[in-house]
Structure 1
Amino acid sequence: MKNLFLTILCFYIFTSVFAKNPNEKTFLILFDKSELKINKTSPEYIELSLMNIFQTKSYSGNSDAAILVKTSHQQIDKCMIGDFIIRINQEKIATLDEVAFQIIDLDESKGIYQKLLANLEDKNQKSKKSNKLFKSNP
Protein backbone atom coordinates (compact mmCIF):
# COMPACT_ATOMS: atom_id res chain seq x y z
CA MET A 1 0.00 0.00 0.00
CA LYS A 2 2.85 2.32 0.86
CA ASN A 3 4.52 1.64 -2.50
CA LEU A 4 1.30 2.35 -4.37
CA PHE A 5 0.86 5.66 -2.56
CA LEU A 6 4.50 6.67 -3.26
CA THR A 7 4.15 5.69 -6.92
CA ILE A 8 1.01 7.79 -7.34
CA LEU A 9 2.61 10.71 -5.51
CA CYS A 10 5.76 10.55 -7.68
CA PHE A 11 3.66 10.30 -10.84
CA TYR A 12 1.66 13.38 -9.82
CA ILE A 13 4.82 15.36 -9.05
CA PHE A 14 6.48 14.45 -12.35
CA THR A 15 3.42 15.30 -14.41
CA SER A 16 3.00 18.66 -12.70
CA VAL A 17 6.69 19.52 -13.14
CA PHE A 18 6.80 18.63 -16.82
CA ALA A 19 3.36 19.93 -17.72
CA LYS A 20 3.04 22.35 -20.60
CA ASN A 21 2.53 25.97 -19.71
CA PRO A 22 -1.15 26.71 -20.53
CA ASN A 23 -0.44 30.41 -21.05
CA GLU A 24 2.18 29.76 -23.71
CA LYS A 25 1.56 31.27 -27.15
CA THR A 26 3.27 30.13 -30.33
CA PHE A 27 3.93 32.21 -33.45
CA LEU A 28 5.26 31.11 -36.82
CA ILE A 29 7.21 33.77 -38.71
CA LEU A 30 7.67 33.03 -42.42
CA PHE A 31 10.26 34.70 -44.63
CA ASP A 32 10.62 35.02 -48.39
CA LYS A 33 13.98 33.49 -49.32
CA SER A 34 14.59 35.92 -52.17
CA GLU A 35 14.02 38.89 -49.85
CA LEU A 36 16.40 37.40 -47.28
CA LYS A 37 18.98 36.99 -50.02
CA ILE A 38 18.55 40.64 -51.09
CA ASN A 39 19.03 41.76 -47.48
CA LYS A 40 22.03 39.39 -47.10
CA THR A 41 20.62 37.70 -44.01
CA SER A 42 19.23 34.39 -42.79
CA PRO A 43 16.56 33.26 -40.32
CA GLU A 44 19.34 32.14 -37.97
CA TYR A 45 20.77 35.68 -37.91
CA ILE A 46 17.33 37.22 -37.31
CA GLU A 47 16.72 34.65 -34.57
CA LEU A 48 19.68 36.06 -32.63
CA SER A 49 17.70 39.27 -32.06
CA LEU A 50 14.71 37.37 -30.65
CA MET A 51 16.30 34.58 -28.63
CA ASN A 52 17.07 36.80 -25.62
CA ILE A 53 13.36 37.57 -25.19
CA PHE A 54 11.58 34.43 -26.46
CA GLN A 55 12.14 30.74 -26.95
CA THR A 56 12.95 30.45 -30.64
CA LYS A 57 13.82 27.85 -33.25
CA SER A 58 14.75 28.72 -36.82
CA TYR A 59 14.16 26.52 -39.85
CA SER A 60 15.64 26.84 -43.30
CA GLY A 61 16.25 24.41 -46.09
CA ASN A 62 14.35 23.42 -49.21
CA SER A 63 11.09 24.96 -48.01
CA ASP A 64 10.36 28.50 -46.80
CA ALA A 65 12.57 29.98 -44.12
CA ALA A 66 10.80 30.25 -40.78
CA ILE A 67 11.23 31.01 -37.10
CA LEU A 68 9.05 29.43 -34.44
CA VAL A 69 8.60 31.77 -31.44
CA LYS A 70 7.14 30.71 -28.09
CA THR A 71 6.24 33.18 -25.37
CA SER A 72 4.61 32.88 -21.97
CA HIS A 73 3.17 36.41 -22.14
CA GLN A 74 -0.52 36.09 -22.98
CA GLN A 75 -0.85 39.78 -23.97
CA ILE A 76 1.52 39.51 -26.93
CA ASP A 77 -0.15 39.22 -30.33
CA LYS A 78 1.20 39.04 -33.87
CA CYS A 79 1.17 42.85 -34.23
CA MET A 80 3.40 43.24 -31.18
CA ILE A 81 5.76 40.54 -32.48
CA GLY A 82 5.93 42.41 -35.80
CA ASP A 83 6.88 45.65 -34.03
CA PHE A 84 10.04 44.15 -32.50
CA ILE A 85 13.22 45.80 -33.74
CA ILE A 86 15.67 43.24 -35.08
CA ARG A 87 19.08 43.26 -36.66
CA ILE A 88 18.82 42.14 -40.27
CA ASN A 89 22.55 42.17 -40.98
CA GLN A 90 25.60 43.97 -39.62
CA GLU A 91 24.59 47.31 -41.15
CA LYS A 92 20.79 47.27 -41.11
CA ILE A 93 18.17 47.33 -38.32
CA ALA A 94 14.40 47.15 -38.98
CA THR A 95 11.15 45.91 -37.49
CA LEU A 96 10.23 42.27 -37.93
CA ASP A 97 7.16 43.27 -39.98
CA GLU A 98 9.39 44.83 -42.65
CA VAL A 99 11.32 41.59 -43.19
CA ALA A 100 8.77 38.86 -42.42
CA PHE A 101 6.56 37.55 -45.21
CA GLN A 102 3.85 36.54 -42.72
CA ILE A 103 3.41 36.19 -38.95
CA ILE A 104 0.93 33.51 -37.90
CA ASP A 105 -0.54 33.02 -34.42
CA LEU A 106 -0.67 29.21 -34.27
CA ASP A 107 -2.93 29.13 -31.20
CA GLU A 108 -5.51 31.36 -32.91
CA SER A 109 -5.29 29.29 -36.09
CA LYS A 110 -5.78 26.09 -34.10
CA GLY A 111 -8.97 27.49 -32.54
CA ILE A 112 -10.35 28.53 -35.93
CA TYR A 113 -9.53 25.09 -37.38
CA GLN A 114 -11.33 23.32 -34.52
CA LYS A 115 -14.43 25.50 -35.00
CA LEU A 116 -14.48 24.78 -38.75
CA LEU A 117 -14.08 21.07 -38.09
CA ALA A 118 -16.94 21.09 -35.55
CA ASN A 119 -19.22 22.92 -38.04
CA LEU A 120 -18.37 20.40 -40.75
CA GLU A 121 -19.17 17.48 -38.45
CA ASP A 122 -22.51 19.07 -37.51
CA LYS A 123 -23.41 19.51 -41.19
CA ASN A 124 -22.48 15.88 -41.93
CA GLN A 125 -24.62 14.60 -39.06
CA LYS A 126 -27.59 16.72 -40.19
CA SER A 127 -27.28 15.48 -43.78
CA LYS A 128 -27.10 11.86 -42.60
CA LYS A 129 -30.27 12.35 -40.55
CA SER A 130 -32.11 13.91 -43.49
CA ASN A 131 -30.94 11.09 -45.79
CA LYS A 132 -32.30 8.51 -43.34
CA LEU A 133 -35.68 10.26 -43.31
CA PHE A 134 -35.88 10.18 -47.11
CA LYS A 135 -34.88 6.51 -47.25
CA SER A 136 -37.43 5.44 -44.64
CA ASN A 137 -40.33 7.06 -46.56
CA PRO A 138 -40.76 4.97 -49.78
Structure 2
Amino acid sequence: MRILTMLLFSFLISASGFAKDPETKTFLVLFKIEELKQAKTSLNQIEQQFSSFFTTKTYSGNSEPALLISIPNCDFDECFLGEFLVDTGLGQKVQLQKIAFRLYDLTENKDLHQIYLAKFEEDQSLKKKPVKPTRLATSNP
Protein backbone atom coordinates (compact mmCIF):
# COMPACT_ATOMS: atom_id res chain seq x y z
CA MET A 1 0.00 0.00 0.00
CA ARG A 2 2.85 2.31 0.84
CA ILE A 3 4.51 1.65 -2.50
CA LEU A 4 1.27 2.32 -4.35
CA THR A 5 0.83 5.64 -2.52
CA MET A 6 4.41 6.69 -3.30
CA LEU A 7 3.97 5.66 -6.93
CA LEU A 8 0.75 7.67 -7.25
CA PHE A 9 2.30 10.69 -5.54
CA SER A 10 5.38 10.63 -7.80
CA PHE A 11 3.17 10.25 -10.88
CA LEU A 12 1.13 13.33 -9.92
CA ILE A 13 4.27 15.36 -9.27
CA SER A 14 5.84 14.39 -12.59
CA ALA A 15 2.58 14.96 -14.52
CA SER A 16 2.30 18.50 -13.20
CA GLY A 17 5.87 19.16 -14.30
CA PHE A 18 5.06 18.16 -17.88
CA ALA A 19 1.74 19.99 -18.00
CA LYS A 20 1.43 22.56 -20.73
CA ASP A 21 1.05 26.14 -19.56
CA PRO A 22 -2.12 27.82 -20.77
CA GLU A 23 -1.37 29.82 -23.86
CA THR A 24 -1.83 33.56 -23.88
CA LYS A 25 -3.66 34.89 -26.91
CA THR A 26 -2.55 38.20 -28.37
CA PHE A 27 -4.85 40.38 -30.45
CA LEU A 28 -3.88 43.33 -32.62
CA VAL A 29 -6.54 46.01 -33.01
CA LEU A 30 -5.90 48.64 -35.67
CA PHE A 31 -7.74 51.95 -35.74
CA LYS A 32 -8.17 54.79 -38.22
CA ILE A 33 -7.66 58.25 -36.74
CA GLU A 34 -10.76 59.55 -38.54
CA GLU A 35 -12.96 56.83 -37.05
CA LEU A 36 -11.65 57.55 -33.55
CA LYS A 37 -12.44 61.26 -34.00
CA GLN A 38 -15.87 60.40 -35.39
CA ALA A 39 -16.61 58.26 -32.31
CA LYS A 40 -15.22 61.10 -30.13
CA THR A 41 -12.79 58.80 -28.34
CA SER A 42 -9.06 58.17 -28.29
CA LEU A 43 -6.74 55.19 -28.28
CA ASN A 44 -5.79 55.89 -24.65
CA GLN A 45 -9.43 55.84 -23.52
CA ILE A 46 -10.00 52.48 -25.21
CA GLU A 47 -6.77 51.07 -23.78
CA GLN A 48 -7.73 52.10 -20.23
CA GLN A 49 -10.93 50.10 -20.49
CA PHE A 50 -9.03 46.91 -21.40
CA SER A 51 -5.93 47.45 -19.24
CA SER A 52 -7.77 46.83 -15.97
CA PHE A 53 -8.49 43.24 -17.08
CA PHE A 54 -5.79 42.36 -19.62
CA THR A 55 -2.22 43.25 -20.50
CA THR A 56 -2.29 45.99 -23.14
CA LYS A 57 0.15 48.05 -25.14
CA THR A 58 -0.55 50.93 -27.51
CA TYR A 59 1.37 52.08 -30.55
CA SER A 60 0.84 55.30 -32.42
CA GLY A 61 2.96 57.53 -34.53
CA ASN A 62 3.48 57.61 -38.28
CA SER A 63 1.28 54.56 -38.85
CA GLU A 64 -2.24 53.71 -37.81
CA PRO A 65 -2.91 53.64 -34.06
CA ALA A 66 -2.69 50.08 -32.76
CA LEU A 67 -3.63 48.31 -29.55
CA LEU A 68 -2.15 44.96 -28.50
CA ILE A 69 -4.27 43.00 -26.04
CA SER A 70 -2.88 39.86 -24.36
CA ILE A 71 -5.52 37.62 -22.84
CA PRO A 72 -4.28 34.66 -20.76
CA ASN A 73 -5.96 31.27 -21.07
CA CYS A 74 -8.97 32.13 -23.22
CA ASP A 75 -11.07 30.77 -26.02
CA PHE A 76 -11.67 34.20 -27.53
CA ASP A 77 -11.47 34.90 -31.22
CA GLU A 78 -11.36 38.25 -32.99
CA CYS A 79 -15.16 38.18 -33.54
CA PHE A 80 -15.83 37.75 -29.82
CA LEU A 81 -13.35 40.51 -28.94
CA GLY A 82 -15.01 42.80 -31.48
CA GLU A 83 -18.30 42.49 -29.61
CA PHE A 84 -16.85 44.05 -26.43
CA LEU A 85 -18.58 47.31 -25.58
CA VAL A 86 -16.34 50.36 -25.40
CA ASP A 87 -17.39 53.54 -23.61
CA THR A 88 -16.73 56.54 -25.86
CA GLY A 89 -16.71 58.95 -22.94
CA LEU A 90 -20.01 60.63 -23.79
CA GLY A 91 -22.13 57.99 -22.11
CA GLN A 92 -22.38 55.99 -25.33
CA LYS A 93 -21.26 52.39 -25.55
CA VAL A 94 -20.16 51.12 -28.95
CA GLN A 95 -18.90 47.71 -30.01
CA LEU A 96 -15.15 47.62 -30.55
CA GLN A 97 -15.62 46.32 -34.10
CA LYS A 98 -17.56 49.50 -34.99
CA ILE A 99 -14.60 51.68 -34.03
CA ALA A 100 -11.71 49.40 -35.01
CA PHE A 101 -10.42 49.24 -38.56
CA ARG A 102 -9.15 45.62 -38.25
CA LEU A 103 -8.88 42.95 -35.54
CA TYR A 104 -6.23 40.21 -35.81
CA ASP A 105 -5.58 37.14 -33.71
CA LEU A 106 -1.77 37.11 -33.73
CA THR A 107 -1.56 33.75 -31.95
CA GLU A 108 -3.67 32.00 -34.59
CA ASN A 109 -1.73 33.69 -37.39
CA LYS A 110 1.56 32.59 -35.81
CA ASP A 111 0.39 28.97 -35.77
CA LEU A 112 -0.77 29.20 -39.40
CA HIS A 113 2.57 30.71 -40.36
CA GLN A 114 4.42 27.81 -38.73
CA ILE A 115 2.23 25.29 -40.61
CA TYR A 116 2.80 27.02 -43.95
CA LEU A 117 6.53 27.28 -43.30
CA ALA A 118 6.80 23.57 -42.45
CA LYS A 119 4.81 22.65 -45.57
CA PHE A 120 7.02 24.88 -47.73
CA GLU A 121 10.21 23.35 -46.32
CA GLU A 122 8.81 19.87 -46.91
CA ASP A 123 7.99 20.75 -50.54
CA GLN A 124 11.47 22.18 -51.03
CA SER A 125 13.13 19.08 -49.64
CA LEU A 126 11.06 16.87 -51.98
CA LYS A 127 12.00 18.97 -55.01
CA LYS A 128 15.68 18.69 -54.28
CA LYS A 129 17.02 15.47 -55.67
CA PRO A 130 20.08 13.94 -54.12
CA VAL A 131 23.18 14.69 -56.12
CA LYS A 132 24.77 11.53 -57.46
CA PRO A 133 28.52 11.60 -57.63
CA THR A 134 29.79 11.16 -61.15
CA ARG A 135 32.96 9.34 -61.94
CA LEU A 136 35.38 10.98 -64.18
CA ALA A 137 36.91 8.75 -66.77
CA THR A 138 40.63 8.82 -66.48
CA SER A 139 42.65 7.79 -69.40
CA ASN A 140 45.99 6.11 -69.05
CA PRO A 141 48.38 6.92 -71.90
TM-score by length of 1: 0.73
What SS does the aligned partner of 2:56 have?
strand
Instruction: Indicate the residue corresponding to 2:92 in structure 1.
Output: 92
What's the secondary structure of 2:28's corresponding residue? strand
Q: How far did 1:36 drift? A: 1.4
2:50 corresponds to: 50
CA displacement at 1:101 relative to structure 2: 1.1
Q: Tell me the amino acid that sits aligned with residue 121 of structure 2.
A: E
The residue aligned with 2:118 is 118
Q: Provide structure 2 residue ranges, at least 5 long, that are not aligned to the other structure.
A: 1-20, 135-141
Deviations along 1:84-122, one digit per CA (max 9) or x if unpaired, are: 111123343201111111111111000000111111111
Correspondence for 1:30: 30
Q: Does the 8 A contact of 1:39 with 1:89 survive in 2?
A: no
Matched, 1:63 2:33: no
> Which has the larger Rg?
2
CA contact (8 A) 2:22 2:73 kept: no
Percent identity of paired positions between Structure 1 and Structure 2: 37
Q: Would you tell me which structure has more helix in proportion to its own residues?
A: 1
Deviation beyond 4 Å, 4+ runs, structure 1: none
Tell me, yes or no, if the aligned pair for 1:25 and 1:74 is still in contact at 8 Å. Answer: yes
C-alpha separation in 1, matches of 2:64 and 2:31: 7
Task: List runs of 5+ in structure 1 lacking aligned partners.
Answer: 1-20
Q: 2:68 aligns to what SS in structure 1?
A: strand
Instruction: Give the aligned length.
Output: 115
In structure 2, what residue type is equivalent to 1:124?
Q
Q: Give the TM-score taking structure 2 as reference length.
A: 0.71
Question: Counterpart in 2 of 1:74?
Answer: 74
